[in-house]
């Protein structure tokens, strides 16, 4: 029915997996580094699987082959063929040594995959990105994660141009060469897949610290950045040390090399990369200082540093058999990071943040044409599968497993997993097998979660029998298999729950047939389509608090009354569920506004409950800020069928206005003044929480009285001791269309003229101004000298913020937003297919738009799909969204 992209690329399928016919035992790489041209020799010791009589085939993309020798003999052109990104070599045996020499062009590599240049020809540095399939852009190799090899890497370069030479592993000598050149050698004793190879070369500064591991190894920690950024690396160093200690304490995992390098670059397609011994970070996930980094970004830096470090075990020591198992390392590592961040900061706030992200990014992905299981069954371009589903939903699955085993049981399971699979490439079955075996339990029912797309629904219904003093909770998952070709088994859904009486007191829980002491919170696991759970000795009709801490990644449907939700919002000691009750209540209030309901009971209950919490001195400022924030526009859109993002924006604004009005201008002003009186630049939890609440109060005031909020914001902007307060004030000025906004924008632009990461916030905040006018702003900002399509962070800051972070601006009824995106994708795809493909996922969900927008979006996508020469990355996404 729809025009599909010209080239429908070949699909790789999980069920076609075969063990490698050829392995590489050792790799010796010898680089002659240069910006315009780099040459390298690779010496591979080959091992043949005797069971497979296949010719030697190596991956290689865009490589200029200079010479090739097998077992010391130069090969004639008739003895090998290089076509279709595969090099086939005749005559190789088990134990053969293959030597190739190739030439690369790093400065011309705009895709930022393989070996490339970060920064300018004169001042920039060279680096590599190999996950997922970048190594084949560097040399000929069986570039698949189940080929593990020991690496020895020698780097040679001009000393003045490349004073710093780094590769993964331990240093193994360095010295001078003729003509002002020098060399350095690195040996990695741990076998690793090619995607974990990395090198960095150029002019970089470092900060360093010694670290002694729990098992007594002294490790040199070195963080490298360009000279103007090195002072912003100290926070990351502290975060790294905290991560290392935490992994020792929590999982008994020690670091395993003598040196750990971390490098910051401004040119990076993703957040960061866990290369063995040489992590490489997008500067925005590593650099931090109070003047240019918000509190939220500080937390993000800590989280990403931890994530990459934790990969050393979950990903590097135990890696993935194939890319279908990506969540084996990513879901697990996200889970480990989330637990770490919860321990370092506030656990309920972290959970709220993570579940919000899941709902904002993963639920829509799982509900649209790009939906895929946590373990996909097929792909065309693996780089398109670094998704919220693989990462965030993957983490939720690990969280369920950890919950099922309990803390000690999960640790036992993880110990066994690491012990069994250390130095090997594993599967999700291996993971569940180890966790289960260590605990004498069978976790295979959870495999079903990995194989199906879509967010499951969980229906909950309560019935109270006063005569028997019994409360029956009925849980159901709508008939699995409906609408799908193959019948699906029901999923195990762990539901953590508590019961409250109508005064808000938690009740002791006595589950039918259970003999142990009553607890105030228990987990029941729904394993069938429908089950009843009966609780005895319940004196009065209770209010259930379900799915506490978001114990399973499902959409809960429960017909709470607004008063029941208000009771949980007011009393649930589980901070997450308290917030969750408030979110559900806010949705009810929103729906009353939307439907013009005669009865505004939910709205009244919601604002009354929040008004009373606003004066509750026991509540944490940051939690209060979150309670005062209704679900975002993307989440609200998920619940509708003919989506009109502009109307959703207006209704949500109205909802917040109603809340602000109930709290009252006087009260909001007073609270703002109290919070502002404590303005500091400190990073402790209380100071951060104050800033968060101050921002929320100012935003609410802005809805009520934009003139006086504008004055407060202008003052806050100019007096701000740090970025959190400054950016919050700028945002409020722009949203309220305040007369002071223009000056503040000019000031910000000038103040951060030399700080790309801070300038990105200047782009993003303008791209996110709601409504029709945002698009003209984006067109103007594209002409700013600071903007370029060549840098992924700039693209994300301006175009990404617009298409993804500004629904009412992007979804213009005239379709101009869609046409702009389609045009930019064409230009971007020619430079960087990975970044183009990621941006293109903003078209996801177009089918659910109201008809005029849907037609306009469809037309833009079809025009794009009809273009020839799209990358495999972009073609797969565009083909996917049209489905
Ligand atoms: N493994 C990294 C993510 C990553 C994936 C691909 C990249 O280049 C295309 C870079 C990084 C992580 O999870 O942190
Ligand atoms: Zn990762």
The pLDDT score that the predictor gives to residue 671 is 98
Of the candidates 864, 855, 853, 781, the residue with the CA atom closest to the CA atom of residue 821: 864
Beta strands 424-426 and 318-320, pairing class: parallel
Measured distance CA(807)–CA(569) in Å, rounded: 29
- Please report the pLDDT score of residue 6 as a whole number: 45
Q: Which ligand is nearest to the CA of 311?
A: 2
Question: Starting from the edge strand earliest in sequence, which strands make up the sheet with 86-89, in order?
Answer: 56-59, 86-89, 80-83
> Which residue's alpha carbon is at the smallest distance from atom 13 of ligand 1?
330
What would the pLDDT profile of 717-740 be if each residue is shown by its tens digit?
999 999 999 999 999 999 999 999
Q: Which of 114, 128, 130, 131 to mutate to test the pocket of ligand 1 (most atoms within 8 A of CB)?
A: 131
Asked whether residue 377 carries a pLDDT value surpassing 90, the answer given is yes
Question: Which residue's alpha carbon is nearest to atom 3 within ligand 1?
Answer: 273
The SS3 assignment for 616 reads: coil
Report helix, strand or coil for 831. helix
Mean pLDDT of 854-874: 98
The DSSP H or E segment spanning 665 is helix 665-677
As a whole number, mean pLDDT of residues 8-22 equals 92
Structure token pair of residue 599: 């009865």
Would the CA dihedral through 848, 851, 857, 858 be positive or negative? Answer: positive
Q: Is the ipTM of this complex over 0.95?
A: yes
Compute, in angstroms, the gap from residue 873 CA to the centroid of ligand 2: 20
How far apart are the CA of 793 and the centre of ligand 1, in A? 15
Rounded Cα distance between 421 and 423, Å, is 6
Handedness of CA 99, 100, 101, 104 (dihedral sign): negative
Task: For residues 634 and 798, give the distance between their C-alpha atoms in angstroms, rounded to a whole number.
Answer: 19
> Ligand 2 centre from 438 Cα, in Å?
25
Q: What is the CA radius of gyration of the chain?
A: 28
Can you tell me the distance from the alpha carbon of 35 to that of 860, in angstroms, rounded to the nearest whole number? 39
The count of C-alpha atoms lying within 13 angstroms of the C-alpha of 694, restricted to the half-sphere facing its C-beta, is 26
The pLDDT, as a whole number, for residue 1 is 40
* pLDDT tens by residue, 561-606: 999 999 999 999 999 999 999 999 999 999 999 999 999 999 999 9
Alpha helix stretches (DSSP H) within 358-393: 363-367, 388
Instruction: Give me the mean pLDDT over the 62-83 stretch.
Output: 98
Q: Among the atoms of ligand 1, which is closest to the Cα of residue 834?
A: 9
- Other CB atoms within a 10 A radius of the CB of residue 46 amount to 22
Q: Ligand 1 site: residues with CB under 6 angstroms?
A: 129, 131, 269-274, 307-308, 330, 383, 386, 834
Please name which ligand lies nearest the alpha carbon of 273. 1
- Which among 146, 112, 105, 302 has a CA at the least distance from the CA of 835? 112
Contact 833, 269 (CB under 8 A): no
Q: What average pLDDT does the structure give for the chain?
A: 97
- How many whole angstroms from 326 Cα to the centroid of ligand 1? 11
Query: How far apart (Å, rounded) are the C-alpha atoms in residues 559 and 586?
Result: 14
Q: Is the pTM of this model over 0.90?
A: yes
Cα–Cα distance measured from residue 653 to residue 159, given in angstroms and rounded to the nearest whole number: 59
pLDDT of residue 499: 98
Instruction: With a cut of 70, say whether residue 700 has pLDDT above it.
Output: yes
Evaluate whether 92 touches 248 at the Cβ level (below 8 Å): no
Ligand 1: which of 262, 273, 323, 385 to mutate, judged by most atoms within 8 Å of the beta carbon? 273
Report residue 479's pLDDT band, with 50, 70 and 90 as the boundaries: confident
First-to-final CA distance of the chain: 9
Q: How far is the CA of 850 from the centre of ligand 2 (A)?
A: 37
Report the 10 Å Cβ neighbour count for 384. Answer: 23
Under 8 Å between Cβ of 139 and 100: yes
* Res 326 pLDDT > 50: yes
Q: Is the dihedral of CA 15, 21, 24, 30 positive or negative?
A: negative
Between 5 and 346, residue with greater pLDDT: 346
- Is residue 543 helix, strand or coil? strand
pLDDT level of residue 481 (50, 70, 90 thresholds): low
- Report how far ligand 1's centroid is from the alpha carbon of 779 (Å): 30
The rounded distance, in Å, linking the Cα atoms of 863 and 856 is 11
86 CA to middle of ligand 2, Å? 28
Distance CA 285, CA 302 (A): 8
Tell which residue, 151, 165, 157, 216, has the closest CA to residue 182. 157
Selected catalytic residue, list 99, 308, 381, 392 = 308
Residue 600 Cα to ligand 1 middle (Å): 48
308 noted as active-site residue:
yes
Q: How far apart are CA 153 and CA 704, in angstroms?
A: 63
Spatial strand order of the sheet with 470-476 comes to: 530-535, 470-476, 457-465, 555-558
Picking from 165, 3, 84, 5, the residue whose alpha carbon sits closest to that of residue 837 is 5
* DSSP H or E segment with residue 201: strand 199-202
* pLDDT of 485 over the 60 cut: no
Q: Residues of the chain with pLDDT > 90: what percent?
A: 97
Nearest CA, atom 4, ligand 1: 273
Residue keyed to tokens 């350095």: 184
Q: Over the stretch 652-684, which tens digit does the pLDDT of each residue have?
A: 999 999 999 999 999 999 999 999 999 999 999
Q: What residues are neighbours of ligand 2 (ion), with CB under 5 Å?
A: 330, 333
**E strand or H helix at 234:** helix 234-251
| Beta-strand relationship, 73-74 and 64-70 | antiparallel
- The ligand 1 atom at the shortest distance from the C-alpha of residue 129 is 8
* Token reading at 478: 């709508």
Contacts of 500 (CB under 8 A, 6+ apart): 506, 507, 542, 543, 544, 545, 567, 568, 571, 572
- The single residue listed with the structure tokens 């213009």 is 812
Question: What whole-number distance in Å separates Cα of residue 685 and Cα of residue 347?
Answer: 12
383 CA: nearest ligand 1 atom: 9
pLDDT attached to residue 484 = 55
Cα-based angle 635, 641, 643 (whole degrees, multiple of 5): 65
Percent of the chain topping pLDDT 70:
98
Q: Which residue has the higher pLDDT, 484 or 766?
A: 766
Please tell me what DSSP assigns to residue 384: G
Q: Which range among 292-296, 516-520, 626-630, 665-669 shows the weakest confidence by mean pLDDT?
A: 516-520
Residue 386 CA, closest ligand 1 atom number: 5
| Dist. CA 467–CA 296, nearest whole Å | 52
Q: Whose CA is nearest to atom 9 of ligand 1?
A: 131
pLDDT at position 483, please? 53
863 burial type by CB count under 10 A (0-12 exposed, 13-18 middle, 19+ buried): middle
Rounded mean pLDDT, 784-802: 98
Q: What is the spatial distance between Cα 753 and Cα 547, in angstroms, rounded to a whole number?
A: 47
User: Which ligand 1 atom sits closest to the C-alpha of 130?
Assistant: 8
Which helix (H) or strand (E) segment holds residue 335: the answer is: helix 326-344
480: confidence class by pLDDT, cuts 50, 70, 90: low
Which numbered atom of ligand 1 lies nearest the CA of 333?
A: 13
Q: How far apart are CA 449 and CA 397, in angstroms?
A: 7
- pLDDT (tens digit per residue) in 444-468: 999 999 999 999 999 999 999 999 9
Classify strands 378-379 and 318-320 as parallel, antiparallel or unpaired: unpaired
Closest-approaching ligand to the CA atom of 330: 2
Mean pLDDT for 439-446 is 98
Give 351-365 as a 3 state SS string.
HHHHHHHHHHHHHHH
Angle between helices 347-357 and 326-344 (to 10 degrees): 140
Ligand 1 atom 6: residue of nearest CA: 131
In this structure, which residue's CA is closest to atom 2 in ligand 1? 273
**CA nearest ligand 1 atom 8, residue:** 131
Which residues pair with residue 176 across a beta bridge? 182
How sure is the predictor about 3, in pLDDT bands with cuts at 50, 70 and 90? very low
764 closest CA partner among 723, 713, 709 = 723
pLDDT (0 to 100) of residue 489: 86
Closest residue by Cα to atom 1, ligand 1, is 273
Ligand 1 atom closest to Cα of 304?
14
Taking only the tens place, the pLDDT of each residue in 813-841 is 999 999 999 999 999 999 999 999 999 99
In whole angstroms, give the CA distance from residue 765 to residue 748: 11
Surface-to-core class of residue 5, CB atoms within 10 Å of its CB (0-12 exposed, 13-18 middle, 19+ buried):
buried
> Which ligand has the shortest distance to the CA of 272?
1
How many angstroms is it from 309 CA to the middle of ligand 2? 9
CB atoms within 10 A of CB 483: 6
CB 389 within 8 A of CB 366: yes
Coil, helix or strand at residue 628: coil
Q: Whose CA is nearest to atom 11 of ligand 1?
A: 273
Take residue 358 and report the two structure tokens written for it.
């899941």
């Amino acid at each position: 029915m729809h025009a599909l992209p010209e080239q429908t690329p070949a699909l790789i399928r999980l069920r076609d997996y075969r063990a490698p016919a050829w392995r590489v035992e050792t790799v010796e790489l010898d680089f002659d580094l240069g910006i315009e041209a780099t040459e390298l020799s690779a010496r591979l010791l080959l091992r043949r699987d005797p069971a497979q009589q296949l010719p030697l085939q190596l991956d290689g993309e865009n490589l200029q082959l200079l010479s090739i020798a097998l077992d010391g003999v130069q090969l004639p052109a008739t003895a090998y063929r290089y076509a279709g990104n595969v090099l086939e070599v005749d005559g190789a045996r088990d134990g053969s040594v293959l030597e190739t020499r190739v030439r690369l062009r790093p400065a011309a590599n705009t895709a930022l995959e393989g070996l490339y240049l970060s920064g300018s020809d004169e001042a920039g540095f060279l680096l590599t990105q190999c996950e997922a399939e970048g190594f084949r852009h560097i040399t000929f190799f069986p570039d698949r994660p189940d080929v593990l090899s020991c690496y020895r890497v020698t780097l040679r370069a001009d000393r003045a141009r490349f004073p710093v030479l780094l590769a993964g592993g331990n240093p193994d000598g360095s010295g001078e060469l003729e003509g002002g050149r020098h060399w350095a050698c690195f040996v990695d004793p741990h076998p690793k897949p090619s995607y974990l190879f990395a090198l960095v070369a150029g002019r970089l500064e470092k900060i360093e610290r010694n670290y002694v591991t729990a098992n007594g190894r002294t490790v040199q920690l070195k963080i490298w950045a360009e000279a103007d950024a090195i002072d912003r690396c100290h926070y990351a160093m502290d975060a790294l040390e905290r991560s290392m200690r935490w992994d020792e304490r929590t999982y008994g995992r020690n670091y395993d090399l003598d040196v750990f390098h971390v490098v910051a670059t401004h040119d990076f397609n993703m957040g960061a990369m866990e290369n063995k011994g040489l992590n490489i970070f997008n500067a925005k996930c590593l650099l931090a200082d109070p003047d240019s980094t918000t509190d939220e970004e500080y937390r993000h830096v800590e989280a990403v540093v931890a994530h990459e470090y934790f990969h050393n075990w979950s990903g590097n020591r135990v890696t993935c058999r194939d890319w279908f198992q990506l969540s084996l390392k990513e879901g697990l590592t996200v889970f480990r990071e989330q637990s770490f961040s919860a321990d370092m900061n506030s656990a309920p706030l972290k959970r709220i943040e993570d579940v919000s992200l899941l709902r904002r990014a993963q639920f829509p992905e799982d509900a649209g044409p790009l939906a895929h299981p946590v373990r996909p069954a097929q792909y065309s371009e693996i780089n398109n599968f670094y998704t919220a589903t693989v990462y965030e939903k993957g983490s939720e699955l690990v969280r369920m497993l950890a919950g099922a085993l309990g803390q000690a049981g999960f640790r036992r399971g993880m110990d066994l997993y690491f012990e069994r699979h250390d130095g090997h490439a594993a599967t999700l079955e291996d993971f569940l097998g180890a966790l289960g075996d260590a605990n004498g339990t069978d976790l295979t029912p959870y495999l079903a979660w990995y194989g199906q797309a879509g967010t499951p629904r969980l229906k909950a219904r309560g019935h109270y029998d006063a005569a028997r003093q019994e409360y029956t909770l009925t849980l159901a998952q709508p008939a699995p298999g409906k609408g799908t070709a193959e019948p699906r088994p029901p999923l195990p859904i762990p539901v953590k729950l508590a019961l409250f009486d109508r005064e808000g007191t938690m009740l002791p829980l006595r589950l039918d047939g259970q003999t142990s002491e009553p607890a105030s919170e228990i987990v029941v696991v729904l394993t069938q389509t429908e089950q009843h759970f009966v609780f005895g000795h319940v004196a009065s009709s209770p209010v259930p608090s379900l799915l506490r801490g978001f114990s399973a990644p499902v959409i809960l449907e429960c017909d709470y009354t607004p008063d029941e939700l208000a009771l949980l919002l007011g009393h649930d000691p589980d901070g997450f569920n308290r917030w969750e009750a408030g979110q559900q209540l806010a949705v009810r209030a929103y729906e009353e506004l939307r439907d013009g309901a005669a009865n505004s009971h939910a709205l009244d209950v919601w604002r009354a409950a929040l008004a009373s919490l606003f004066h509750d001195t026991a509540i944490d400022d940051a939690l209060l800020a979150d309670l005062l924030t209704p679900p975002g526009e993307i989440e609200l859109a998920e619940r509708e069928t003919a989506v009109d993002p502009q109307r959703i924006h207006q209704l949500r604004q109205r909802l917040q206005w109603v809340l602000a009005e109930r709290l009252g201008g006087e009260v909001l002003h007073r609270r703002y003044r109290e919070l502002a009186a404590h303005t500091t630049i400190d990073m402790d939890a209380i100071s951060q929480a104050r800033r968060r609440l101050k921002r929320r109060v100012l935003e609410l005031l802005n809805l009520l009285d934009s003139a006086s909020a504008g004055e407060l914001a202008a003052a806050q902007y100019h007096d701000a001791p740090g970025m959190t307060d400054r950016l919050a004030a700028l945002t409020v000025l722009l949203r309220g269309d305040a007369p002071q906004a223009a000056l503040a924008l000019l000031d910000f632009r000038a103040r951060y003229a030399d700080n790309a990461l801070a300038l990105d916030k200047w782009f993003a905040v303008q791209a996110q101004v709601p409504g029709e006018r945002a698009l003209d702003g984006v067109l103007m900002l594209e002409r700013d000298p600071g903007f370029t399509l060549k840098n992924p962070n700039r693209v994300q800051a301006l175009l990404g913020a617009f298409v993804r972070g500004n629904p009412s601006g992007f979804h213009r009824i005239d379709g101009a937003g869609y046409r702009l995106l389609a045009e930019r994708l064409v230009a971007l795809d020619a430079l960087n297919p990975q970044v183009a493909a990621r941006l293109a996922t903003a078209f996801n969900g177009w089918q659910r738009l109201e008809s005029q927008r849907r037609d306009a979006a469809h037309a833009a996508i079809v025009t794009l799909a009809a273009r020839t020469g799209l990358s495999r990355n972009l073609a797969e996404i565009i083909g996917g969204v049209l489905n």
